[in-house]
């Protein structure tokens, strides 16, 4: 046997091709679907995090609309620098509401005893799927199967790229 055509005339080779293609499709599907549904490739999307105003003025902003790219932070909203927090409060237009809330007995207790003040907004995390990792996984799997196919051709036919006819 010197060509692929000669191999195609044998039953064992046709059966081996069926097993090979079944394994390729099965393993590729399993790995990619498992990775996709397990959430392995999800990362925090800082630019699309939602800022939700509270205390009656329920406006919603995206972090990318409020801050420049260099100012965006992966920190949670309890740890934002005062300048960033103040900018959010101004956009929410709730500074007066927060001040009024602190005048109540509970608000005064929170500020006086604990040194805390109401935040006035929350930040909701948004996640995105990194498809570049899925593509890399697919390339590695198909590359491995191609190497196996070429090694088989070399052993059986004596060439990595055997003649078809």
- The residues facing 61 across adjacent strands are 51
Identify the helix (H) or strand (E) that includes residue 25. Answer: helix 11-38
Beta strand 60-62 pairing with 121-124: unpaired
Give the pair of three-digit tokens for residue 8.
Answer: 């195609």
Cβ(91)–Cβ(82) under 8 Å? no
More confident residue, 149 or 64: 149
Question: pLDDT tens digit string along 1-52?
Answer: 678 888 888 999 999 999 999 999 999 899 878 877 776 677 778 788 888 8
Question: In the 8-state DSSP scheme, what is residue 39?
Answer: T
Question: pLDDT tens digit string along 54-72?
Answer: 766 678 888 888 777 766 6
């Amino acid at each position: 046997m010197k060509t692929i055509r000669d191999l195609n005339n044998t039953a064992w080779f046709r059966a081996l091709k069926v097993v090979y293609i079944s394994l390729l499709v099965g393993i590729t599907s399993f790995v990619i679907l498992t990775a996709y549904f397990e959430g392995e490739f999800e990362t925090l999307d800082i630019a699309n995090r939602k800022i939700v105003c509270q205390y009656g003025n329920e406006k919603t902003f995206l972090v990318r609309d409020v801050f420049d790219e260099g100012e965006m932070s992966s920190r949670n909203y309890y740890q934002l620098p005062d300048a960033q927090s103040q900018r959010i409060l101004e956009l929410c237009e709730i500074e007066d509401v927060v001040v009024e809330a602190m005048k109540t007995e509970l608000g005064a207790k929170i500020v006086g005893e604990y040194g805390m003040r109401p935040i006035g907004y929350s930040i909701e995390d948004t996640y995105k799927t990194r498809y570049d990792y899925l593509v890399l996984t697919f390339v590695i799997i198909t590359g491995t199967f191609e190497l196996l196919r070429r090694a088989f051709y070399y052993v059986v036919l004596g060439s990595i790229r055997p003649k078809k006819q």
